[in-house]
Chains A and B, each alone.
Chain A
Amino acid sequence: MALIESNEKMNGVAQEPVIFAEKLDLTFQTNDGAVQALRDVNLTINKGDFVSFIGPSGCGKTTFLRVVAALEHPTGGEITVNGMSPDEARRQRAYGYVFQAAGLYPWRTISKNIELPLEIMGYSKESKREHVDKVLKLVDLEGFGEKFPWQLSGGMQQRASIARALAFDAEILLMDEPFGALDEIVRDHLNEQLLALWGRTGKTIGFVTHSIPEAVYLSTKIVVMSPRPGRITDVIESTLPRERPLDIRDTPEFLEIAHRVREGLRAGHAYDD
């Protein structure tokens, strides 16, 4: 808790929920009958939080992120984003979304890809260039703006897609397993960069992952979920400092949090085996 208080002081703002979910339910109607993707999800995410969602496939972590983004609509309960409905928040450009696949348009250069949301949102020409330059610098891709996606490595492509999500100054960044398809070395590097970016920008980040070390390393809050029906089994507030070199992963504190996450995952699975 000490960490959160210090966060508060650093940001100079009072704790206000950016994302607030209460008794959230979501049931999909499929050909095989109803599937409960989310059941009774209660969660508060504050400004500047880095929240990871971890759990096995089908636990609803991605679904929850999609509900926040108004890509899915809940069948019960309540959710607000910046105090509004998700749909309204989307119209107000509240969040940028990063998908597992970078999904850059192969016919656009990196700059043009980052410009895409700005074009749709009607930014002026100078303002577009300004924003593109700013976010390219933010993800360390200066000088690559004129390249086409196929000329970049997978890690660089994913950084470009993060830049695209940051381009229009949304305060919330939603990331759905953004590094899931990358190898571990690249992943470590991107994790480090993402933390630095978070530190510099003070964004609120929702991050879906399969990896326990990744979740513990990045987050201020770890949401452990379990499947059938998708629900939250544990919410862990991280006690790690905000400044996190990669070797923090060898400290006892880190291992303890990782252990608790693993326990949470196991508990959620118990009735399954």
Chain B
Amino acid sequence: MKNVVPVLVVLAAIVGIWYAAVAPMNIRTALDQAERGGAVIEPEGGRTRLEVSVWRLMADNSEYISEGYALDRPRLPTPAQVGRELWKTTGEMALRGKAMSKRSLIYHATVTLKSTLWGFLLGTFLGIAGAVAITHSRVMDMSVMPWAIISQTIPIVALAPMIIVLSSQLGIEDRGVPKAIISAYLCYFPVLVGMVKGLRAPSASQLDLLRTYSASQWETFVKLRLPASVPYLFTSLKIGIASALVGAIVGELPTGAISGLGARILIGDQFGTPLAIWAALLAAAILAGILVTLLDLAQRITLKRMGLQA
């Protein structure tokens, strides 16, 4: 609990900067709205104002700055507005028994979560399997590792539509499948790298020791390499699940999907409702936080049981 204070300080700083940023970001919208309401703004007309910097506008029309904090469709909503929107689409709906309604972010989060978890499982499996192959075979080390690295240099935004098109060509109707594949694509890499490092963690003398017992490769793997890799595995899993979530959201963007947090972000963009985007964004961040925390907990419990000090 020692780190609560620094975390809160950073949070307060972010919120502070956010609030400060709302004024210049929303000043134009606020002035347009006030002008339509009959106020006299300097200079006149939204078009002319585009020529003037936001700082000048704020200086000349300081009485309207506060309006920027209470817009219906703000360019940059305040944290409080985002919080209210998030509550309206989650907690409030849940209280009314409509948690699974299509307008509820809880519903959309579960859609995204499902793809995330499938992608995470698939990616983790591929990552571990790849790492085992790489640590046990020089050929695999030389052939797979460079491709694994190259795979991560391809922008996922470019790859995602292709995966979706190809999977629909294969007759896969479920939209969750291509999303899980994209998710796994992002997730396997940190797991692979972490596990390769973990499986190679045992020192030369620890490996020699097992040779003096004439231990088989399998015994070396099970009794030494695998347990030695556990701390590395959990660290990678935490990165992996965050990547998996990003993958699932990216997978929802170009699919024309109507459900999922990614779809909410896209729809919010198309309909010009930044509030919806921000709420979905925050929901995604909270989801990621919960997933990473759960894995962190699993890590602590596992390492403690293994007698390793976490």
B223–A119 CB distance below 8 A: yes
B213 touches A121 (CB 8 A): yes
Residue A28 at the chain B interface, CB threshold 8 Å: no
The residues of B with any CB-CB pair to A shorter than 8 Å are 203, 205-206, 208-215, 219, 223-224, 227-228, 230, 306-309
A68 to nearest B CB, angstroms? 11
Q: How far is the CA of A71 from the CA of B205 in the complex (A)?
A: 11
Most buried by A among B210, B214, B224: B214
* Residue among B205, B215, B223 having the largest count of chain A Cβ atoms under 10 Å: B205
Q: List 11 A-B contacts (CB under 8 A).
A: A71-B208, A71-B211, A71-B212, A96-B212, A97-B212, A100-B205, A103-B206, A106-B308, A107-B227, A107-B308, A117-B213
Q: Point out residues on A near B: beta carbons under 8 Å.
A: 69, 71, 90-91, 95-97, 99-101, 103, 105-109, 116-117, 119-121, 148, 150
Q: State A148–B307 Cα separation when bound (angstroms).
A: 7
B203 with A103: CB separation less than 8 A: yes
Question: CA of A237 to CA of B185 in the docked complex: distance in angstroms?
Answer: 67
Partner pick for B306 among A91, A107, A120, CB 8 A cutoff: A107
Question: In whole angstroms, how far apart are the Cα atoms of A72 and B11 in the complex?
Answer: 58
CB atoms of B307 and A97 under 8 A apart: no
Residues of A contacting B309 in the complex (Cβ-Cβ under 8 angstroms): 150
CB <8 Å contact, B219 and A107 = no
- Chain B residues contacting A116 (CB-CB under 8 Å) are 213, 223
* Nearest-Cβ distance from residue B105 to partner chain A, whole angstroms: 42
Of all chain A residues, the one with the shortest Cβ separation from B306 is: A107
Are the CB atoms of B307 and A103 closer together than 8 Å?
no
A95 vs B213: C-alpha distance when bound (angstroms) = 9
Collect the chain A residues with CB atoms within 8 Å of residue B307's CB: 106-109, 148
Q: Could you tell me if A120 and B308 are in contact, using CB atoms closer than 8 angstroms?
A: no
CB distance from B209 to the nearest CB of A (A): 6
Instruction: Please give, as numbers and ranges, the residues of chain B lying within 8 Å of A91 by CB-CB distance.
Output: 214
Is there an interface contact between A120 and B209, defined as CB atoms closer than 8 Å?
Answer: no
Q: How far is the CB of A177 from chain B (nearest CB, A)?
A: 11
Asked whether A99 lies within 8 Å of B215 as measured between CB atoms, the reply is no
Q: Contacts of A117 on B, CB cut-off 8 Å?
A: 213
Q: Is the CB of A99 within 8 A of B205?
A: yes
Is the pair A105, B213 in contact by a Cβ cutoff of 8 Å? no
Contact B227 A97 (CB under 8 A): no
* Cα–Cα, bound, A101→B206 (Å): 9
User: Which residues of B sit under 8 angstroms from A69, Cβ to Cβ?
Assistant: 212
User: What is the chain A residue whose CB lies nearest that of B204?
Assistant: A99
Who on chain B is nearest to A148 by CB? B307
Residue pair A120, B212 in contact (C-beta under 8 Å):
no
Nearest-neighbour CB distance to chain A for B227, whole angstroms, equals 5
Closest-by-CB residue of B relative to A112 is B307
**B212 CB to closest chain A CB, in angstroms?**
4
Contacting residues, chain B, for A148 (C-beta < 8 A) = 307
Contacts of B214 in A (CB 8 A): 90-91, 120
Task: Give Cα A108 to B224, complex, Å.
Answer: 11
What is the chain B residue whose CB lies nearest that of A95?
A: B212
Distance between Cα atoms of A108 and B307 in the complex (Å): 7
Which residue in chain B gives the minimum CB-CB distance to A150? B309
Question: Which residues of the other chain, A, contact B227 by a CB distance below 8 angstroms?
Answer: 105, 107
Q: How far is the CA of A121 from the CA of B227 in the complex (A)?
A: 20
With a cutoff of 8 Å between Cβ atoms, the chain A residues found around residue B210 in the complex are 120
Provide the residues of chain B in CB contact with A105, threshold 8 Å: 206, 224, 227-228
Taking a contact as CB atoms under 8 Å apart, the answer to whether B306 and A103 are in contact is no
Which residue from B203, B205, B206, B223 sits with its C-beta under 8 Å from A120?
B223
Q: Say how far B43's CB is from chain A's closest CB, in angstroms.
A: 71
Q: Do A103 and B223 touch (CB < 8 A)?
A: no
Tell me which residues across on chain A come within 8 A of B212, comparing CB atoms: 69, 71, 90, 95-97
| Distance of A135 from chain B, by nearest CB (Å) | 15
CA distance A106 to B306 in the complex (A): 8
Residues in B neighbouring A150, C-beta threshold 8 A: 309
State whether A97 touches B308 (Cβ < 8 A): no
Closest to A117 in B: B213
Q: Please give me the residue from chain A that is nearest to B307 by CB atom.
A: A148
A17 CB to closest chain B CB (Å) equals 21
Taking the closest CB of chain B, its distance from the CB of A38, in whole angstroms, is 18
A182-B51 Cα distance, complex, nearest whole Å: 75
